[in-house]
Structure 1
Amino acid sequence: MSESIQINEVAEDQAEHKAMHRTGVAARLAGLPVETLRVWERRYALSETERSAHGQRLYSAEQVRRLGLLKQLVDQGHPIGVLAGLPMRQLEEMTVSQALPEEDTGRMMRVALLGESIIRRLAAGGRDSLGLVVRASCTQLAQAETVLQDADADLLLVELSELDDSAVPRIVAARRACSAVAVVVLYRFCASATIRHLRAQGCLVARVPPELGELLLLCRAALANARPPLRERRPVPAPPRPRRFSDEALLALAGAANSVDCECPRHLADILMTVGSFERYSAQCASRNEPDAQLHQALQLAAGQAMAILEDAMERLARAEGLPLTPA
C-alpha cells in the first residue's frame, strides 16, 4: 500500500514538473507583464521553450521559476542583458547573496503571518529551523488590521491564493498595524496591475514557492530591500492672495454703475466675484491623488493671475467713470 502511494506521489511530482504554461500564464505566474517577457525572449532568447501545435511558447514550472528569479534580480538593479545568460544556480546564489548583510543572516526574523495556508505550512515545516519567530497570525484578510495590531514584527508574510486590488489597502493597513519593516506577498493567481500596486507600496510579491527554503530567501530579500510605502503627497495649498476689492466693494461698484451710461463696471464686478469664488474653490477642492492636487493648485494660480488683471481693469474703469473705490 505504501509503495503505491509513493508511486502516485512521484507521478504527481513529475506531472507538476512537466506542466506547461503559455506565455501569458507564465508571465503572470512570474510577476511579469507579458509584454516584458516577449521583449526579453525576442532580445535575449531566455528559454529553450517547447512549442504548441500552433507554434506558441510553452514554459515548464522550472522555467517559470527562473523567470521569477530574473524579475526579482532585475527589480534589485541587475541588467537583464547580463542575467539572461546565467545558469539557474548562479541566479539563486545572487538572490541569496543580496538577501541580507552577513552580520544579519543569523538573526531571528520576527514575522506576522496573514493567511491560513502560510500558517499551516510554517507550523508543519518547522518555522524555528528557518529562523522565524511568529509574533502574531491571522487567517482572514478582513480581520488582519485588528488581529495583528501591535505585533511589533520585522516582516509581514502574506499568502493568499487569489489576489485582486481590493486586498491592497488591507495589506497596507495590516503592515501598519504590526509595524512591519517589510512585506512579502505570496499568491497563486494575481493580475499584473495588482502586483504593480503592491510593489508600489513597497511589498515583495512572488508566486507561492514550492519549498520553505525559497520562502526564507524571499523574506531575507524583502528585509534587505525594505523601503517605506508610497504615501500620497499633496502640494501645500498656496496662501490666499490679498484681494483689492471685497465682495461688498464690488457690489457697491455694480450698484453705482446704474447711475452712469456705461454698464461695464457692473459686468466687470460680476466677473470679478465669479473668478474670485473659483479661486477660493480651487484652493479648497478635494483631490483624489497627487496629479489631481497639482491640477487644482494650477487652477488656483491661474484664477489668481486672472483676478490681478481684472482688478487692474476695474480700478482703471472706476477712476475713468468717477466711481467710489473702496479697498478690501
Structure 2
Amino acid sequence: MISNDKAVHDVVYRAGTAARMAGLPVETLRVWERRYQLCDTQRSAHGQRLYSAEQIERLGLLKQLVDQGHAIGVLAGLSRTQLQLILGRHREPQAAYASAIRTVVVGSSLPRRLVVIDCAALGLEMRVRCASLGELEQSELDCEAELLIVEQSELDDTLLPRLEAVRARMADAAILVLYRFSSSAAIRALRMAGCLVARMPADLGELAPLCRLALQGQRIPLPAGPPPVPAQRFDEHTLATLAQASGRVNCECPRHLAEVLMTVGSFERYSAQCAARSPDDAELHAALQRSAGQARAVLEDALERLALAEGIPLPPYLANGT
C-alpha cells in the first residue's frame, strides 16, 4: 500500500528490521546489545527487543563510525549527539536548498530509512513511497514528482521496460536507480535510457548529490575494470594459530572464522589453478578467483576486529598496522 509521509516517532521495529534500516547485520546488532547494552529498548509481549526511529538512527551512526575504525567499546556509551559530532555529520538546514526535490521512492528499506532520518534534511520531499516496483505499477500515481528513486538489490533485463512505463506516467520524471549487485550490461542499458545508476550508499547523506545529478541528467561512468583484490593478510599458519587461541570470553567465533578463511583462501588458490589450466573457461574461473579474494578480504577484516575485541594476540605485522 502506498502512503504519504506521516510521523513515525511512536513506531517501533523489531531487531531484524532495525538492523537492516541501520545497515547492520542482525548478528552484529545482537552481539553489540549483549556486550554493550546499546539501547534502552522496549520489549514485546514475547520478549523481543523493539527499537524506535531515534534508536535506529543512533545505530546507523555507530555503524558508520565503526566502519571508519572507531572501537565500538568506546562509542557504545555516547549519545546520538556526541556520535554526530564525532562523525562530523552536521546536516544542512532545509533552507540551504533552493527547493526540495519532489520524489517517489521505491524500495524495501530506503523509504523507511528516509523517514527515520527526515528526508527534508536532504532536500527531498517524499510525495509517495512504496515497497516494490510492482506496488507502484498498480497505483494511480496522481502526485507531481520530479524524481523517481528505485532501490533494487539486483538489476536485470526486466527492469528497464518497467521503469520506462512508470516514467511515462510521471511526465518523464528523472530516474535514480540504486543497486547492490549488477552486471555491467544491465547498468549500461539503464544509463543509455537516461537513468542515473549508482551503488546504494551506506550513508544516506550521499543521496542528496545523487538526486541533484539525476535531475541534471548527469551520468556516473562505469569502472574501467574489476576492483583489485587485496593481498592475503593471514597465512595458513597464522589462521591455525588464531583458531586455537583463547580470548577474554568463552567464544568459538575466532576458531570458526579462521576455519572459514582457510576454506575461502583454498578456493581462491584452486580457482587460480583452474583458470591457468582450463583455457575454455579461464574467464569464469578468474571471476571466481576475484570473488573469493574479495570475500577473503572482508573476512580478514572481520577476524582482525574480532581478535582485537577478544584480546587475542595478533602477529606483529598486523598489530603494528602494516
Indicate the structure (1 or 2) with the bigger Cα radius of gyration: 1
- Please identify which structure carries the higher helix content: 1
Q: TM-score under structure 1 normalisation?
A: 0.39
